[in-house]
Amino acid sequence: MSNPPPNRVFNHVAISVPDCKAASTWYNQVFGFQLVGNQIIHIKRSERPDDPIFRIYPASLNEVHMAYMTTGNGVGFEIFEFVDPKVYLPESGFEYNRGGFFHVCVTDSEPDALAAKMVDAGGRRIGETVHPVKDVICLYAADPWGNVVEILDASFDRMATLACKGVR
């Protein structure tokens, strides 16, 4: 019998935006995420052709700005601004039915207040505030670049445990 794989920890998530500096400032002011090293990294293939990013991404990538941020529980949050070729944003809003990742989630004791802060800073609400299980508040919002953020007032473990027990 083979051993089950270890339950690995989440290391980081990355988003792509048209303005890395504006996004890193926004995520700091709204969520308190901290910019590691207080700098945004600028990498050009013409200056650093052997940089690891150019060995990972296709040959079409020539220039990128990157911000490494850290969250309250140490999970990383990377912000990429693809300069050459330029980033493009989807034309429609919340593409929940598009394959792949479609939201990240933060935990906050007052989801509606945090969503209001997001809206005041240029983001937008998506749908209504709901209670997926008893005593848990959940809502969706988006940053100014359309990246979707779910806000829960409970840990994922607590919400999932209550849902599995049928606590509605």
- What does each of the 168 residues of the chain score in pLDDT, given as a tens digit? 689 999 999 999 999 999 999 999 999 999 999 999 999 999 999 999 999 999 999 999 999 999 999 999 999 999 999 999 998 887 777 777 778 888 999 999 999 999 999 999 999 999 999 999 989 999 999 999 999 999 999 999 999 998 888 766
Domain range for residue 16? 10-87
CATH number of the domain encompassing residue 153: 3.10.180.10
Task: Please report the sign of the dihedral spanned by the C-alpha atoms of residue 25, residue 79, residue 115, residue 9.
Answer: negative
Beta sheet of 12-16, edge-to-edge order: 12-16, 76-84, 63-70, 34-44
Q: How many folded domains does the chain comprise?
A: 2
Q: How far is residue 142's CA from residue 153's CA, in Å, rounded to a whole number?
A: 17
Q: How far is residue 35's CA from residue 138's CA, in Å, rounded to a whole number?
A: 27
pLDDT of residue 165: 83
Last residue of a domain, one of 48, 64, 87: 87
